[in-house]
Amino acid sequence: MGGCSVWSGAILNKGIIYLFAIFVTAQILRHNYERRENSDSQNVLMFNFVSFACFVVFYYFHYISRMKGDEYRMRKTRSFSLIGWTSLILIAVLVFMGQEGCDLEKGSNQTNLKKDSGEYSRVSIIIEKKESGGWAPLPAEQITPDFRLYEDGTVIYKKYIEEQNPTKIKFMIEHLTNSQISELLRFIQEQRFFEMQDYYPEYSMDAVFSTLTVRGENGLKTVTVGDVDLGPKSFAKICEKLDRFSIPTAIKYHPKIIILFVSTLPQANLKEFKTWPVASVNLEQAIKLKKIVLEGNDLGQVMKVMENQLIAFFSFRGKVYQVVTKIHLPDE
């Protein structure tokens, strides 16, 4: 009876260890996924390494007894069991610490960020900046935002190719961590953005309007300033930070779709402008249609012709045309 109780106890002990090992493995996989989404790759790598090392230690001491025979296993059951349970407890502590790290990194004021399977909508925007007005204002539908940050961390922002030439730009894309998003939101909150008026009027006919939209606790708040230099200084600080925003690891954003808006300039001199070279895109037809949606080869040719400009002028069949490119963003 004593031997049976010993063996049944050993089997029960081994079964509990196996079940616990399976549970901990599932927890580690789940928390590692969360950390990949919300943390830095270096932390994730360290967490994975330590977890793997603990499993190696546990399985080594647990299975080596099977190679030594029944007598050795009976004598060392307690010591191996102790080492195995200690390893599992250590892994459980690491899992708990990993979860705490994720929660702390999100921050108390941070919106819960989750990927939405590549689907975006207006409500998924956290921060957006765009400009309008000026000496030749464009309709709202033709304006590409300078900066847009989504709740899954995707950020698309405008970057000047030449500081001396603000018309030469490109759009960059990258994915921010929760800590980076929290830092941006904290800066905006420190400028008392949510206490500002919704609108500050312009003081000149050709003023450039800057519009900021930020998600707060009560939803999206939008503030428009007619002239940033004459508006609230804190608003100007936010605009400057977003205008200078840059990430070394960001890559150039290649939209799948662009939209062309075309209009004529009746008094312009044909000789001053380049001839429109894209034969497959008829500017006369574009005016009749009001806009043309381009993708594929046509998109690539037009982007090359525009030479990193959103607005350009061309001659075509005896007329001069203004061509405006609207970059298609993920939520549009």
Please say which residue of 252, 269, 292 terminates a domain. 252
CA dihedral 231, 235, 241, 244 (to 10 degrees): -30
With respect to residue 90, please indicate whether it lies within any of the assigned structural domains. yes
Q: In this model, does residue 62 exceed pLDDT 70?
A: no
- The residue-averaged pLDDT of 90-115 equals 43
- Could you tell me if 37 and 139 lie in one domain? no
| Number of domains composing the chain | 3
The model carries a pTM of 0.61
Residue 203, φ and ψ in degrees, nearest 5: -120, 5
Strands (E), the chain: 125-133, 147-150, 154-162, 165-175, 199-200, 208-216, 219-225, 251-252, 258-264, 274-275, 292-294, 311-316, 319-327
Please say which residue of 106, 134, 152 terminates a domain. 106
- Could you tell me if 151 and 240 lie in one domain? yes
Instruction: Give residue 205's pLDDT.
Output: 73
- Could you tell me if 184 and 102 lie in one domain? no
Q: Residue 29 is part of which domain span? A: 2-106
Q: In this model, does residue 297 exceed pLDDT 90?
A: yes
With respect to residue 112, please indicate whether it lies within any of the assigned structural domains. no
- Could you tell me if 156 and 197 lie in one domain? yes
